[in-house]
Amino acid sequence: MGKLCFVPTPIGNLEDITIRAINVLKTCDLIFAEDTRVTHRLLSHFEISKPILPFHAHNEHKSLEMAIQKIQANALTVLVSDAGTPGISDPGFLLARACVAAGIDLECLPGPTAFVPALVVSGFPTDKFVFEGFLPHKKGRQTRLKLLAQEERTIILYESPHRLLKCLEQIQEFFGAERNVSVSREISKFYEEHQRGTASELKTYYTQKPPKGEIVIIIEGLS
């Protein structure tokens, strides 16, 4: 019976990877990757050569049976995403669930996750928070926003750059003009940025300075 290990990869600076993660990548038998090209570049940087197979949002349901068979046939298989901890807001959880059902041992190494540094530097309470990940693009989006507007805990969202302005506008609409927000962009990269203010203030800022890169939005809970 094989084992699957979730290995976090850098979200920006390659020095964020842990020594333990490098050792696991060096000793594993097989790697499942969100984008094999991204993973090949990472492995090349650390002079690691391993077989890599794709496991991503476009093929996860078709790949589950094959993935389970591969994991069972090898002593140690690794799952990585393009950046951060696999299984967080990506289809890695489907593989974890399938492994649990198949009785396969799971392990997840500690490592980079974008929402943790964004939450810490927001200045909002960190003792209790709710992680929403990506909101629905269309169906159910307004329903979620209405519910979250009543949430007393700090709220964490992931968003793409081209949807940030719309999201800030909707936060202003559903949460109120005075609700405080923090937007973190390009965490652990050269152009890392953290902007704080009301949704309206941040919408004005990013209208004048169109955002790029990965974005985490932290919303102050209802007080």
CATH number for 85: 3.40.1010.10
Residues 120 and 99 both lie in one domain: no
Q: Which of 29-38, 88-97, 156-165 has the lowest mean pLDDT?
A: 88-97
CA distance readout (Å), 36 to 19, 80, 145, 213: 22, 10, 35, 20
**Per-residue pLDDT band at 59 (split at 50, 70, 90):** low
So what's the pLDDT on residue 56? Answer: 75
Tokens standing for 84? 């951060």
Alpha-carbon span 5 to 210, nearest angstrom: 38
List the domain range (segments joined by +) for residue 47.
3-108
Predicted confidence at residue 57, as pLDDT, reads 65
Overall average pLDDT of the 36-47 stretch: 96
Number of domains in the chain: 2
**DSSP H helices in 46-140:** 60-73, 92-102, 115-122
Q: What is the mean pLDDT of residues 115-139?
A: 95
Band the pLDDT of 194: cuts 50, 70, 90: very high
Residue 2: pLDDT band by 50, 70, 90 thresholds?
very high
Q: At what angle do helices 60-73 and 92-102 cross, to 10 degrees?
A: 50
In Å, how far are 1, 13, 110 from 86, measured between CA atoms?
22, 17, 11
Q: How far is CA 169 from CA 36, 102, 114, 175, in A?
A: 36, 45, 23, 10
> Mean per-residue pLDDT for 123-144?
94
Phi/psi for 86 (5° steps) reads: -65, 145
Joined together, the tokens standing for residue 29 give 């038998």
N-term to C-term CA, the chain: 50
Return all residues near 2 (Cβ < 8 A) that are at least 6 apart. Answer: 71, 72, 73, 74, 75, 76, 77, 104, 105
Q: What is the pTM of this model?
A: 0.91
Amino acid at site 107: E
Residue 102: what pLDDT?
A: 95
Chosen domain end from 108, 123, 146: 108
Determine the residue type at 146. K
If one compares 42 and 91, the residue with the highest pLDDT of the two is 42
Domain endpoint, select from 108, 141, 163 = 108
Provide the 8-state DSSP code for 8: -
Are 206 and 136 part of one and the same domain? yes
Same domain membership, residue 100 and residue 120: no
**Residue that finishes a domain, picked among 91, 108, 125:** 108
